[in-house]
C-alpha cells in the first residue's frame, strides 16, 4: 500500500469510534434502486462525489453492480468497465478515501491498486474465495456484511447474523487480515423480512461483543415504508433508523443523503457526548 493511501486508511480508522462516520454512496450502475443510471459517466460520477465530500462524507463507496433484490448478476468485465474509469478519476481528485462495493476479487484488486482503502463486500468474504487474500495483500479494510441466499422468516435473525460473521471472521483471520481492519455490517435489507430488518436494528447492541466497528446501510430502503405509512425510500425514515442505530452502537452510516446525516449525527453525538 502506498504511503499516501496508507495515511488515508489510518486516518479513517482513527475516526471510527471518535465521531460518527458517514459513507457517501456512489452507484455507477444503470439499475440501482434509488439512483441507478445517474452517475455512470465518469464526469457525472466526479461531480456527484465532490458534492458528497462537500456535504461532509468521510469516505465514498463506489459500486458497479446493483445489489437490490432481483437485480441481475453483472459479469466481471462489465463491472470493471463501470468502476475502473470512475475510480481512476476520483483517486486523483478527492481528498477523502475511497471504498469499492464488490464481492469479486478481481474488481477489488483493481480498486485497491487505484487507491481505494476499503472493500465493502455484501457477501462477507463468502462469495469469492480469493477476496480475503486480495484484501490482506493490499492491507485494506474489509466490511463483512451479513447476507443469505433467501429469506427465512422462521429463523432468529441475530443468531444467523452471528453465525455468518463467525464464518467470515475465520476466513479473514486465515488470510491474515488484522482485526483492526475489519468492520461488521448486519446487512439490513438483504434477504430479511421487514420484521427481521426491524429486529436486526433493534438488537444491534448484541453485536457489540465482537468489539469491532458496526456499519449500517438502511438508506432509502423499502422496509422503512412499513414504519412510515407507506413512505418508502423516505429521508425521514432513513434518518430515524440511523439515529436508532447509532444509539445502539453503530458508528458508520452508508447513506445517499450525506448533508442531512452529517447534521443529524452531529447533534446526536454532541448531546450524547458533550
All 3 cell numbers of residue 139? 492491507
Handedness of CA 42, 30, 74, 176 (dihedral sign): positive
254 classed as catalytic: yes
Catalytic annotation, pick one of 162, 173, 221, 266? 221
Nearest to 96 by CA among 42, 138, 51, 136: 51
* End-to-end CA gap in the chain: 37
Where is 144: in which H helix or E strand?
A: strand 141-145
Handedness of CA 187, 192, 197, 201 (dihedral sign): negative
DSSP state at residue 232 = T
For the chain, state the CA radius of gyration: 17
Cα(131)–Cα(137) distance, rounded to whole angstroms? 10
221 classed as catalytic: yes
The answer to whether residues 247 and 265 touch, using CB atoms and an 8 Å cutoff, is no
Where is 8: in which H helix or E strand?
A: helix 3-15
β-strand partners of 120: 101, 143
Phi-psi region of 255 (alpha: psi -120 to 50; beta: other; left: phi over 0): beta
Nearest to 214 by CA among 261, 265, 253, 262: 253
The answer to whether residues 58 and 49 touch, using CB atoms and an 8 Å cutoff, is no
Which residues are part of the catalytic machinery?
221, 254
Amino acid at each position: 500500500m502506498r504511503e499516501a493511501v496508507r495515511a488515508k486508511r489510518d486516518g479513517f480508522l482513527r475516526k471510527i469510534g471518535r465521531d460518527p462516520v458517514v459513507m457517501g454512496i456512489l452507484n455507477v450502475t444503470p439499475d440501482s434502486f434509488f439512483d441507478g443510471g445517474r452517475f455512470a459517466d465518469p464526469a457525472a460520477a466526479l461531480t456527484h462525489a465532490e458534492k458528497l465530500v462537500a456535504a461532509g462524507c468521510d469516505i465514498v463507496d463506489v459500486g458497479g453492480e446493483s445489489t437490490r433484490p432481483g437485480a441481475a448478476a453483472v459479469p466481471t468485465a462489465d463491472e470493471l468497465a463501470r468502476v475502473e474509469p470512475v475510480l481512476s478519476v476520483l483517486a486523483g481528485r478527492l481528498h477523502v478515501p475511497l471504498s469499492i462495493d464488490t464481492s469479486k476479487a478481481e474488481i477489488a484488486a483493481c480498486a485497491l491498486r487505484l487507491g481505494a482503502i476499503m472493500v465493502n463486500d455484501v457477501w462477507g468474504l463468502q462469495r469469492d474465495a480469493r477476496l480475503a487474500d486480495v484484501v490482506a495483500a493490499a492491507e485494506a479494510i474489509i466490511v463483512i456484511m451479513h447476507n443469505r441466499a433467501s429469506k427465512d422468516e422462521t429463523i432468529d435473525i441475530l443468531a444467523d447474523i452471528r453465525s455468518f460473521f463467525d464464518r467470515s471472521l475465520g476466513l479473514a483471520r486465515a488470510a491474515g487480515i488484522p482485526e483492526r481492519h475489519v468492520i461488521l455490517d448486519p446487512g439490513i435489507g438483504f434477504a430479511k423480512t421487514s420484521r427481521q430488518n426491524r429486529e436486526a436494528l433493534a438488537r444491534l447492541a448484541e453485536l457489540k461483543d465482537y468489539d469491532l466497528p458496526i456499519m449500517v446501510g438502511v438508506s432509502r430502503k423499502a422496509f422503512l415504508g412499513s414504519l412510515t405509512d407507506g413512505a418508502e425510500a423516505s429521508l425521514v425514515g432513513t434518518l430515524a433508523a440511523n439515529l436508532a442505530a447509532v444509539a445502539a452502537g453503530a458508528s458508520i452510516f452508508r447513506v445517499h443523503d450525506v448533508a442531512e446525516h452529517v447534521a443529524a449525527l452531529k447533534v446526536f453525538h454532541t448531546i450524547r457526548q458533550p
